[in-house]
Amino acid sequence: MSETPLEAKLRELLAERARDAAPAEAPVDTIVDSGRRARRRGRIALSAGAAVLVAVPGAAIAAQGEWLADGDTATAAAPAESEQGAEQGSGPEEAPPSESPAEPSPEVPQGPSDPERQLFDGVTLEQATASLESCLAEFPLREPPVSAPGEGSGETEFVEGEPLDMDLSELRIVLAWVSQGDENRGPEPMTQVVAVTAVPDEAPLQLVCAAREDGAANMQSGSPAERTQPVVPEIGAGRYQGPQVGEWTLPFRWADFGVVTSEVERVTVTYAGETEEAALDTGYYVAAGMAEQEAEGAPVVVGYDAEGEVVYDSREDATHGRR
């Protein structure tokens, strides 16, 4: 069907209006330059946004919002203000305050490698830590005393050492139990804790703490015995193997510990008619048992190597014999 003159004129008018309304095409160089600038700003914004996100998580969102509002580079519209805010003439919504960084957790000692064989009588790691803190608060650690000539007398005097700079995190709790006390220390039960330096080769230290619920505390501190043989029982452990004064009150919780060399894979401790398998932790052996009868003599400590061969027997050790 052929179009009428009126239809032809109308088609020509519509074509002219369409050409007049078409946007001018931007030069190719302008498009390329604009794209490069946008990509550079985007990379800078992304890097800065990552830094802000690490430092202040709450402020990162606000900063990213400002970058997106940039007229040259924005690819999405900024959030529109609410109608109520526009009527009141309020400014852009402020970013929520950033959360305060979490407080660092207090320094705590490391726990034993085998809690079932190292924490006795219901003592938890938290309770053992609290007892150790009580002892250190009452008896702060210090450097060894130093000798100095006395003023006027010419005799040598010992001056108290400086406070020892050590965090609880540098210590490891290797043994904890509840002692029933005696006539010398009092009848009330006390929590006993053995703690040693977590890295034995760096400034070795050995602490034995005793603390009661009423706040009373006592502590022995010093260097562990030298490893001159595969197993070296702690000479001072005898005070934890029976009443220091008075009669036995049975059953009695006893404890024993000492140092071992790397060749030792197993240690047994026989005392008051019972044999206990010791735990090995941080170069120490530790053991505890419940005596149902009075013990005669010191514990019998036997050490074995990886092949099961006996490498130490306290009955053949002339230096062993603490009770």
Residue 250 lies in a domain: yes
| Cis peptide bond upstream of 251, omega within 30 | yes
Q: Which residues contact 139 (CB under 8 A, 6 or more apart)?
A: 217, 218, 219, 221
| CA–CA separation, 179 and 189 (whole Å) | 5
Residue 20 lies in a domain: yes
DSSP string covering 246-281: S---SSEEEEEEEEE-TT--EEEEEETTEEEEPEEE
Contact in structure between 64 and 58 (CB atoms under 8 Å): no
Task: With CA atoms as reference, report the closest residue to 284 among 302, 257, 304.
Answer: 257
Residue 22 lies in a domain: yes
Alpha carbons within 13 angstroms on the beta-carbon side of residue 288 total 22
Say what the pLDDT of residue 40 is: 37
- 252 and 312 belong to one structural domain: yes
- 119 and 256 belong to one structural domain: yes
Residue 146 lies in a domain: no
Say what the pLDDT of residue 159 is: 73
User: Global pTM?
Assistant: 0.64
Contact in structure between 208 and 139 (CB atoms under 8 Å): no
Rama region for 15: left / alpha / beta (φ>0; ψ in -120 to 50; rest): alpha
- 58 and 136 belong to one structural domain: no
- 66 and 200 belong to one structural domain: no
Residue 147 lies in a domain: no
Say what the pLDDT of residue 48 is: 35
Looking at the 3D structure of the chain, how many domains does it have?
2
- 122 and 238 belong to one structural domain: yes
- 20 and 120 belong to one structural domain: no
- 128 and 261 belong to one structural domain: yes
Say what the pLDDT of residue 74 is: 37
pLDDT digit of tens for each residue in the chain (323 aa)? 556 665 666 667 656 655 554 444 445 454 444 444 444 334 333 333 333 333 333 333 233 333 233 334 333 444 444 444 444 554 555 555 545 444 444 689 999 999 999 999 999 999 999 999 999 999 988 876 777 676 666 677 767 777 787 888 999 999 999 998 767 677 789 999 999 999 877 778 999 999 998 888 899 988 898 999 999 999 999 999 988 777 888 899 999 999 999 999 999 999 999 999 999 999 999 999 999 999 989 999 999 999 999 999 999 998 886 54
- 128 and 27 belong to one structural domain: no
- Domain that includes residue 259, residue range: 115-140+174-316
Say what the pLDDT of residue 142 is: 81
Alpha-carbon distances, residue 76 vs 68, 71, 72, 201, 260 (angstroms): 7, 10, 11, 61, 69
